[in-house]
Amino acid sequence: MYHKPVLLNESVEGLNINPDGFYFDVTFGGGGHSKEILKHLSHKGHLFAIDRDPDAHQNLIEDSRFTLIYGNFRFIRNYVEFYKLNGVDGILADFGVSSHQFDVGERGFSFRLGGNLDMRMNQEQTIKASDILNDYSDVDLYNIFKSYCDVHNPGKLVKLIIEYRQDKKFDTIESFTELIKPVMPQNREIKYQAQIFQALRIEVNDEINSLNEFLDSTPLVLKKGGRLSAISYHSLEDKPVKNLIKTGNTKGDLHKDMFGRTDLPFKAINRQIIIPSEKETIENTRAKSAKLRIAEKI
């Protein structure tokens, strides 16, 4: 299977679908969430999906009510305008990396499989993980590993990288993981490598900026009563979603007028974070860290 959708029923039910409405699945992947949304739409409804990974477009759903867009969800306002939509009734986002991306070695997302240091979601872009390791300054590397995975020893890690590339170039996952063995915490080697690879992947794909631009656009494209159903996997994804719902923006800045009143665009539908059942995490280990937040446009 290309990718098993996480929190499938919960996330789609959270959209409170209007059968005649217009919806976006902004992280199409294997199409699992999209297929479920289509089950709830009439012949008048329509689902638009977005994915920047060409591999995902091989999963195109043949349905007159479905349009698959090759692009980045950060540009959702552009797509809404292009298709002349007067707002949308719901948006579903699953921010996790697809199983396919992890399981195909040449994509370079998994430290377990080896291969090239790639990690590009959009394979047409030029920058790869190897470029970051070979070309970024020590300061930039330090900031990436500190900000995007918060490892306890970013200085030692960066020093190893800088010393290595004085004589050689990073090209394979094996060469990189072998190099960083001396700074891996004992009995936490797998978690450490996962954190480092997460940080590199986020930088390669500009994930945080894309996420924030997308989220800050959602109040502008959703109709009144429209829903946002967002699945996150780590704090860098979940925090801006939480901030958006509580304050109306991803920075978490609560703006008040001269009378101390707020004009928030969303209300939270679930007060408690929705997480996968024990059964789902057993059947799909990648669902283990998933968190679902649902909000409605006021």
User: Which domains, from first to last, does the chain contain?
Assistant: 8-99+207-297 (3.40.50.150), 123-204 (1.10.150)
Res 250: pLDDT: 96
**Kind of pairing, strands 266-268 and 291-297?**
antiparallel
Res 128: pLDDT: 94
Res 168: pLDDT: 94
Residue 293 pLDDT greater than 90, yes or no: yes
Which of 81-95, 175-189, 223-237 comes out lowest in average pLDDT? 175-189
Residue-averaged pLDDT of the chain: 92
Res 260: pLDDT: 66
Q: Name the phi and psi angles at 157, rounded to 5.
A: -65, -50
Q: How far is CA 197 from CA 171, 193, 204, 274, in A?
A: 14, 6, 10, 27
Residue 102 pLDDT greater than 60, yes or no: no
Q: How confident is the model over 16-27, as a mean pLDDT?
A: 98
Query: Mapping DSSP to helix (H, G, I), strand (E, B) and coil, where does residue 256 land?
Result: coil
Residue 103 pLDDT greater than 60, yes or no: no
Kindly indicate the confidence band of residue 73, based on its pLDDT and cuts at 50, 70 and 90: very high
- Answer yes or no: are the C-beta atoms of 140 and 199 closer than 8 Å: no
- Answer yes or no: are the C-beta atoms of 91 and 218 closer than 8 Å: yes
Q: Exposed/middle/buried for 262, CB within 10 Å: 0-12, 13-18, 19+?
A: exposed
- Answer yes or no: are the C-beta atoms of 204 and 101 closer than 8 Å: no
Quote the percentage of the chain above a pLDDT of 90: 78
Res 255: pLDDT: 78
Res 121: pLDDT: 87
- Residue 164 CA to residue 154 CA, distance in Å, equals 15
Residues 6+ apart with CB under 8 A from 230: 92, 93, 95, 215, 241, 292, 293, 294, 295
Res 100: pLDDT: 59
- Residue 135 CA to residue 141 CA, distance in Å, equals 9
Q: What is the pLDDT of residues 180-216, one digit of tens each?
A: 999 999 889 899 998 999 999 999 999 999 999 999 9
- Residue 204 CA to residue 200 CA, distance in Å, equals 6
Q: How far is CA 38 from CA 47, 228, 258, in A?
A: 7, 17, 45
User: Per the structure block, which two tokens stand in for 43?
Assistant: 């012949």
- Answer yes or no: are the C-beta atoms of 130 and 171 closer than 8 Å: yes
Q: Exposed/middle/buried for 192, CB within 10 Å: 0-12, 13-18, 19+?
A: buried
Res 256: pLDDT: 75
Q: How confident is the model over 88-102, as a mean pLDDT?
A: 83
Q: How confident is the model over 245-271, as a mean pLDDT?
A: 86
Res 160: pLDDT: 96
Q: How confident is the model over 61-74, as a mean pLDDT?
A: 97
User: Per the structure block, which two tokens stand in for 119?
Assistant: 């990690």
